[in-house]
Structure 1
């Protein structure tokens, strides 16, 4: 093997280490200040939109968490399903409104659900979020305060992972907390990321109307990203306040974990092919291992492992819990790298019972309809 190849691989690994250390430093910024206090009459009303599908662990507790808020204004919740026999309905709080409608508005079942719910949402502010999210009691206050800043059209939030169903779910959570979350932090700090995530999208009713309503996004797989882009087209920003919420991971096996993460990676690759290719450098442990196999010194591998362990420990400290055993990190990192590479060759993904074909323009077609 030519002698320059180990040097190139070592350089890539060191760039990844620098990225990792930057993420560890930036993590300290995500300490939320106390939420502002105002007169109760000044707080706008909120409608929480919750598209549901199928059973989930602790779903009732998660939904109640969005209602049990230290928020002076009125909060309502709409929970929508497409099937009246959907088991998720059993977990809907009594205080929430159940909406059942099978009307389809494109290939994206979640967006169809949102379209069906949005007509009944009468809050000043709409907050949509995935059903697997867990939020603190000051969530609503912080989101509304961020939305009311000048020039802000929407608010979104980064999230950490929490394993809820055993070892594989903790491995999935580690991928979020130790991989995805630092990437968001670095991307925001450098201005390279313009996120809008399904963890939270808060916007005013007039903003939603101005961007064409939810129906505009009915055939898009990355609907959350597209909503953010549409808000920015109006000359408004998408704010990301210093609050990290939690994604409950429920994977029970390797196959489910890979299918979920492959869909996510393929979506990111579809949205930004060049940026996604560049993001491969953010996997220093994998590059260091390849460099070591190619003949580089063992110090490269040791440095990459040390940097990644520091970042994982730092993230766990910031979110206030151990995501997974730190000794899992090498296996988790190599799995993440493998999935990242596989996403370059993925054109079909599984999503909630449907097999979807992904087009280069971000649109999707369902090969098997969800029942």
Structure 2
């Protein structure tokens, strides 16, 4: 048994440590969001190289027409879009046909192919789509992504440098009408995006996102094509990682795209975010174990409970202010209005994240597209 005075000091020290860690992370993340990028990329080509956009589809996702349409109105002078589905009865086909009718001048191909090559059905879809691609610059983007008209021209510009392997984009959440959708948007905007910017501010490029991955066909061939990804869960991350291992750079574009957040129930939100968190754990287990310092509100509250006093109160005020400023900056980045009532959701959002993080540590199973997979630590995802 510890003496009572020692136990008291240890408890107080632990409380101050929790408050300091949470506040320190929030302040450094805020700094990273305000920091200018080290380099901006612009193409000197008067005629950007032709590009093919690969869009794997699965079902009639929320606002699918609006999101796919945003890719049909790009300012890039010469590009093709290849859509791909595995099921000939997929409702997404009707949306593609609608776009073909609306934009007859746009080069739009549709691959309908049910062949499966591994555990990752999305990668199988991409493998079936690739033969339809006409150009050497490839841009992969998930179905739920919304972009602005200058997106494609800006994203492919860094690929003019032969040392660049992939270009990827951060994204912000576009919430639906439900309460849980708004909480899901906060997962992306207030936690995920700041953590990536913080990592990048310190020089890391250990990331790649399904929101956008642009690469040249020769870089894809260098790593062995899509075939090497067929049994990997985080195919987007591994596209970046394998090109980095081949000696090529990863560029985080200054383009930020939107992604639909369509969860309408707590169960849907929990399942989706648990899949994300377990995927992150599989990619970076050591870093994931320390992720709890990102959950500002619960840690500050715990610090105040363990060590009430002016030190923890001051840290809590500073950490809380930084957390609110991060929220405000993300609204500006996404061109969405700042709503003060959403600030009240921050403690709930952080508490839910903390619970999901704890559950993510306890297992590897994820549910995705009707499949049950295991996000193993080596990146593979065998079906169960």
Q: Please, what TM-score do these two structures have when normalized by structure 2? A: 0.89
Matched, 1:309 2:316: no
Rounded to whole Å, the distance in 1 between the matches of 2:87 and 2:40 is 42
- Contact kept in structure 1, 2:141 and 2:212, CA below 8 Å: yes
Structure 1: gaps of 5 or more residues: none
Counterpart selection for 1:225 from 237, 250, 275: 237
Structure 2: gaps of 5 or more residues: 1-6, 101-105
Matched, 1:319 2:334: yes
Rounded to whole Å, the distance in 2 between the matches of 1:109 and 1:171 is 28
SS in 1 for 2:344: helix
SS in 2 for 1:242: strand
1:9-52 CA-partner distances (Å, limit 9, x unpaired): 32233222222122223323468979556423xx2111110111
Counterpart selection for 1:46 from 36, 44, 51: 51
- Contact kept in structure 2, 1:45 and 1:124, CA below 8 Å: yes
Map 1:22-41 onto structure 2 (within 5 A): 22-29=28-35, 36=43, 38-40=45-47
Map 1:169-180 onto structure 2 (within 5 A): 169-180=181-192
Rounded to whole Å, the distance in 2 between the matches of 1:193 and 1:292 is 36
Rounded to whole Å, the distance in 2 between the matches of 1:91 and 1:30 is 39
- Contact kept in structure 2, 1:154 and 1:228, CA below 8 Å: yes
1:296-348 CA-partner distances (Å, limit 9, x unpaired): 33614444322211211122123221476222111111111111121101221
Counterpart selection for 2:89 from 67, 85, 89: 85
SS in 2 for 1:99: strand
RMSD between superposed Cα atoms in Å:
2.0
Aligned to 2:355: 338
Map 1:180-195 onto structure 2 (within 5 A): 180-195=192-207
Matched, 1:149 2:154: no
Aligned to 1:4: 10
Matched, 1:75 2:90: no
- Contact kept in structure 1, 2:168 and 2:212, CA below 8 Å: yes
Map 1:110-125 onto structure 2 (within 5 A): 110-125=122-137
- Contact kept in structure 1, 2:83 and 2:110, CA below 8 Å: yes
1:101-142 CA-partner distances (Å, limit 9, x unpaired): 110010001001001101221212000011111111111111
- Contact kept in structure 2, 1:164 and 1:250, CA below 8 Å: yes
Relative to structure 1, the CA distance from residue 29 to residue 91 in structure 2 (aligned partners, 3 Å threshold; closer, same or farther) is farther
Q: Which moved more, 1:320-329 or 1:336-345?
A: 320-329
- Contact kept in structure 2, 1:13 and 1:287, CA below 8 Å: yes
- Contact kept in structure 1, 2:297 and 2:346, CA below 8 Å: no
Rounded to whole Å, the distance in 2 between the matches of 1:291 and 1:316 is 29
Rounded to whole Å, the distance in 2 between the matches of 1:108 and 1:30 is 37
Q: Which one has the largest radius of gyration?
A: 2
SS in 2 for 1:366: coil
Rounded to whole Å, the distance in 2 between the matches of 1:84 and 1:30 is 46
- Contact kept in structure 1, 2:205 and 2:252, CA below 8 Å: no
Rounded to whole Å, the distance in 2 between the matches of 1:62 and 1:194 is 27
Relative to structure 1, the CA distance from residue 175 to residue 135 in structure 2 (aligned partners, 3 Å threshold; closer, same or farther) is same
- Contact kept in structure 2, 1:14 and 1:284, CA below 8 Å: no
Relative to structure 1, the CA distance from residue 154 to residue 118 in structure 2 (aligned partners, 3 Å threshold; closer, same or farther) is same
Q: Please, what TM-score do these two structures have when normalized by structure 1? A: 0.92
Rounded to whole Å, the distance in 2 between the matches of 1:311 and 1:224 is 26
Relative to structure 1, the CA distance from residue 228 to residue 265 in structure 2 (aligned partners, 3 Å threshold; closer, same or farther) is same
SS in 2 for 1:80: strand
Rounded to whole Å, the distance in 1 between the matches of 2:296 and 2:17 is 10
